[in-house]
């Protein structure tokens, strides 16, 4: 999905400036290394005042004074501002090692229209790698990058528009700070990826994520990894965000099954049309499957959220403190898998397919919830109607065993008591006038029929609709490309990217979906651990496209291989999904042979990058071949494509190994007993 706020780019300029100044003061006082504050409060205030009124601070303008952003950053000194004029810039792989501001004219003039006119395209590469505390990135449009904001320090990231990136904002080990008022749309993976604490020698600092719109991330809106060692003690505050249309979870917390001391405060957010609103996973696994995290003991304070129209509202761990939430229209259930130390109090559940609470531990505290009452919210902007049973029905504090698990200040609500849900009745309409578009979920078709129906949804926006093909092996045909509902013909097996847009005369909003036309389907994903070799049988392919056949070796049903044969109708290919919880390099070995005279060729891509070609000679026996390049696998789930370019090739199995000295031909190798 894609959404837009008719009242402005993100939220009101005044409120943004107040929040930016407030958080900047906080980050400066507590986190920016260069001030080196003493314990004296008077000295701290003096140092901060000197910084804000520093006559030595320079404004370096691109392209007026420097032709490229990189040159301006290299010339900057601590405290300088690099201001980028409107235009399109093709830049990538810039290291930021000084405490500077990188922004558009928005930073000086406050004109929100400038943000979408100041565009940096990093062409499937990183844009900024940030290594210094106190850096600010703001007021920019960032597109087509792969981890374009690669962050290893305490930073401020605000008021950016991020479109079609892979992990638009990547907070890596050693990072932290403030991420707010950004719009992140159509991310190829996760809108915000938080890996704070991956390195125990450089953990990072607390993080605030608020007032962002994260729309139509192909995987998670926000993905958070806990990692496996104790004593990290990071606080995550995630509030007042809108997360819509995530293919995985709105927020996913990935446990590595060891207690880390991390604490989560997740409140006043909206989660809509995701696979799971908040999803907890265990064992370092990232593929959202509603299973929950039975070994996750971190505290997750989940209060005053509106969680609607997802498959499952929330999957839990052992200490989920859920209070004052609206859980509405989740097709597979409301809360699932909360452990014995969890609390479920004063939430409103409605129309969750008769499954408000699933697999909740017997010893969990469950009381004073409201069931089967319509919350009467305005679904287009999530606000409460005057007659809603949620108005003034929340609780402001809850204590258990002498400890406050929630204690809201009066400033957070308007009536006599807090409301239930994300938005207070009669609150300033920060979330109002939201328009969004939904092309539908990614899907697959097995031997597709002549025409397949696509049904788009557009809310709070009128205009001209258009279905278009962005990519695919052959051109598709739309019967009614200017209607929300259309039939589409796929002429050939393959992976197709389809777009639906709506233009109202001023602005275009769009959404995309992937349609896989396949003749082989396997939903099992291949999860690998960093220290282990992984054997994948060829027939365990997730999707197969084109002329592919499964054979048994000598009539043995337990030992199969695949035949992939290039021909006049196209080049068939295999797709495997590889998932891991660690950053590791792997060698890829293939056990195969050719059955055509001359040389046959395979092409291998991983995560949209070429691993090179494999040339296979005709011989009587299967043999091992190593791919030309290593697979650089970061935490997450990625696609491995193996395509036949010429000839007929038989593929039996593959091995992924992190050991550069590994050889499948060694004595006692793991292929003993194979073909």
Residue 57: pLDDT band by 50, 70, 90 thresholds? confident
pLDDT at 324: 98
The reported pLDDT for the residue numbered 596 is 80
For residue 121, the cross-strand partners are 90, 143
Q: Dihedral through CA 491, CA 495, CA 499, CA 500, nearest 10? A: 70
Q: Kindly report the CA angle at 494 between 489 and 498, in degrees rounded to 5?
A: 55
Helix (H, G, I), strand (E, B) or coil at 3: strand
Q: What is the mean pLDDT of residues 414-433?
A: 79
Which of 11-20, 486-495, 571-580 bottoms out in mean pLDDT, i.e. has the lowest? Answer: 11-20
> What confidence category does residue 431 fall into, taking pLDDT thresholds of 50, 70 and 90?
low
Cβ burial, residue 583 (10 Å; 0-12/13-18/19+) = middle
- Is the pLDDT at 379 greater than 70? The verdict is yes
Question: Using 50, 70 and 90 to split pLDDT, how confident is the model at 567?
Answer: confident
DSSP 288: -
CA distances from 183 to 210, 246, 433, 507 (A): 11, 14, 15, 15
* 52, pLDDT greater than 60: no
CA angle 126, 129, 132 (to 5 degrees): 170
Rounded mean pLDDT of 397-405?
90
Cα distances (angstroms) measured from residue 543 to each of 444, 517, 540, 630: 9, 9, 9, 22
The secondary structure of the chain in percent helix, strand, coil, rounded to multiples of 5, reads: 10, 45, 50
Task: Place 435 in a pLDDT band, splitting at 50, 70 and 90.
Answer: confident
Query: 257 Cβ partners below 8 Å, 6+ apart?
Result: 228, 282, 283, 284, 295, 296
Q: DSSP label at 146?
A: B
Question: From the CB of residue 672, how many other CB atoms can be counted at a distance below 10 Å?
Answer: 8
Do 341 and 298 meet the contact criterion of CB atoms below 8 Å apart? no
pLDDT at 163 (0 to 100): 94
Q: What is the pLDDT of residue 161?
A: 97
Counting other chains too, the contacts that 340-347 makes at CB distance below 8 Å and 24 or more residues apart are 340/364, 341/297, 342/316, 342/317, 342/318, 343/398, 343/400, 343/405, 344/320, 344/369, 345/369, 345/395, 345/398, 346/370, 346/393, 346/394, 346/395, 346/420, 347/322, 347/323, 347/420
User: Which residue segments constitute the domains of the chain, with CATH numbers given?
Assistant: 1-218 (no CATH), 439-517 (2.60.40.10), 519-657 (2.60.120.260)
Please report, in angstroms and rounded to a whole number, the separation of the first and last CA atoms in the chain: 47
Which tokens in the block code for residue 555? 């009539």
Residue 36 has pLDDT above 50, yes or no: no
pLDDT at 139 over 60: yes
Task: State the virtual CA torsion across 297, 298, 303, 308 in degrees, nearest 10.
Answer: -70
Q: Which residue has the higher pLDDT, 481 or 413?
A: 481
Contact 297, 310 (CB under 8 A): no
The pLDDT of residue 412: 84
Cα dihedral across residues 297, 298, 302, 307: positive or negative: negative
Nearest to 531 by CA among 178, 216, 228, 148: 228
Quote the CA–CA distance of 399 and 402 in Å, as a whole number.
6
> Is residue 189 within 8 Å of 636, Cβ to Cβ?
yes
Residue 478 — φ and ψ, nearest 5°? Answer: -100, 130
Exposed/middle/buried for residue 645 (C-beta within 10 Å: 0-12, 13-18, 19+): middle
pLDDT higher at 254 or 44:
254
508 and 501 in contact (C-beta within 8 Å)? Answer: yes
pLDDT tens per residue, range 93-105: 999 999 999 999 9
Q: What is the pLDDT of residues 152-203, one digit of tens each?
A: 999 999 999 999 999 999 999 999 999 999 999 999 999 999 999 888 888 8
**Structure-model confidence comparison of residues 351 and 617, the more confident one:** 351
The pLDDT of residue 513 is above 70: yes
* Mean pLDDT along residues 596-607: 88
Crossing angle of helices 13-30 and 41-52, rounded to 10°? 130
**Contact present, 465 and 490 (Cβ < 8 Å):** no
Residue 508 has pLDDT above 90, yes or no: no
Summarised one tens digit per residue, pLDDT across range 311-333 is 999 999 999 999 999 999 999 99
CA distances from 398 to 126, 186, 265 (A): 45, 38, 15
Looking at residues 478-491, what average pLDDT do you find?
Answer: 92
């Amino acid at each position: 999905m894609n959404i837009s706020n008719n009242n402005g780019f993100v939220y009101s300029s005044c409120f943004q400036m107040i929040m930016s100044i407030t958080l900047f003061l906080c980050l400066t006082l507590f986190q920016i290394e260069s001030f080196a504050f003493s314990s004296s409060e008077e000295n701290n205030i003096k140092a901060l005042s000197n910084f804000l009124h520093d006559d030595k601070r320079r404004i370096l303008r691109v392209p007026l004074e420097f032709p490229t952003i990189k040159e301006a950053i290299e010339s900057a000194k601590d405290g300088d501002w690099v201001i980028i004029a409107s235009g399109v810039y093709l830049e990538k792989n810039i290291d930021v090692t000084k405490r500077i501001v990188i922004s558009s004219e928005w930073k000086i003039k406050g004109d929100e229209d400038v943000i979408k006119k100041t565009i940096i395209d990093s062409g499937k590469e990183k844009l900024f790698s940030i290594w210094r505390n106190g850096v600010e990135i703001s007021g920019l449009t960032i597109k087509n990058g792969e981890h374009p904001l690669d962050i290893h320090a305490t930073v401020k990231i605000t008021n950016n528009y991020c479109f079609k990136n892979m992990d638009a904002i990547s907070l890596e080990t050693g990072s932290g700070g403030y991420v707010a008022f950004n719009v992140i749309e159509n991310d190829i993976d996760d809108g915000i990826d938080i890996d704070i604490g991956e390195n125990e020698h450089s953990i990072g600092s607390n993080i605030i994520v608020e007032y962002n719109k994260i729309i139509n991330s192909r995987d998670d809106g926000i993905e958070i990894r806990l990692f496996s060692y104790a004593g990290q003690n990071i606080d995550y505050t995630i509030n007042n965000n809108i997360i819509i249309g995530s293919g995985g979870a709105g927020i996913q917390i990935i446990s590595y099954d060891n207690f880390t001391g991390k604490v989560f405060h997740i409140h006043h957010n909206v989660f809509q049309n995701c696979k799971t609103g908040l999803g907890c996973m265990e064992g370092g696994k990232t593929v959202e499957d509603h299973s929950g995290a039975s070994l996750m003991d971190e505290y997750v304070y989940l209060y005053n959220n509106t969680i609607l129209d997802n498959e499952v509202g929330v999957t839990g761990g052992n200490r989920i403190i859920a209070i004052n939430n609206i859980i509405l229209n989740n097709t597979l259930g409301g809360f699932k898998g909360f452990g014995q130390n969890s609390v479920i109090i004063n939430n409103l559940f409605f129309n969750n397919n008769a499954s408000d609470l699933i697999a909740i531990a017997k010893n969990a505290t469950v009381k004073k919830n409201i069931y089967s009452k319509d919350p009467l919210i305005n679904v287009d902007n999530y606000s409460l109607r005057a007659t809603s049973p949620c108005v003034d029905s929340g609780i402001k504090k809850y204590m258990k065993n002498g400890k406050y698990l929630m204690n809201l200040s009066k400033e957070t609500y308007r009536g006599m008591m807090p409301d239930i849900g994300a938005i207070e009745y009669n609150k300033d309409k920060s979330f109002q006038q939201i328009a969004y578009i939904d092309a539908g979920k990614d899907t697959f078709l097995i031997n597709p029929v002549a025409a397949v129906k696509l049904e788009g949804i557009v809310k709070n926006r009128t205009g001209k609709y258009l279905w278009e093909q962005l990519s695919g092996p052959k051109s598709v045909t739309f019967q009614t490309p200017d209607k929300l509902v259309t039939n589409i013909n796929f002429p050939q097996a393959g992976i197709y990217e389809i777009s639906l847009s709506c233009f109202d005369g001023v602005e275009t909003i769009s959404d995309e979906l992937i349609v896989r036309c396949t003749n082989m389907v396997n939903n099992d994903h291949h999860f690998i651990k960093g220290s282990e070799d992984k054997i994948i049988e060829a027939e365990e392919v997730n999707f197969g496209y084109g002329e592919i056949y499964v054979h048994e070796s000598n009539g043995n049903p337990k030992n199969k291989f695949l035949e992939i044969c290039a021909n006049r109708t196209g080049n068939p290919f295999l797709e495997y999904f590889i998932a891991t919880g660690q950053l590791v390099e792997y060698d890829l070995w293939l056990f195969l042979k050719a059955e055509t005279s001359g040389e046959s060729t395979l092409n291998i891509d991983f995560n949209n990058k070429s691993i090179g070609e494999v040339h296979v000679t005709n011989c009587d026996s299967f043999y091992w071949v190593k791919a030309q390049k290593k697979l650089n696998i970061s935490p997450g789930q990625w696609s491995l494509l193996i395509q036949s370019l010429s000839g007929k090739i038989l593929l039996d199995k593959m091995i992924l190994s992190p050991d550069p000295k590994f050889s499948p031909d060694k004595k006692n190798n793991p292929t003993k007993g194979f073909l």
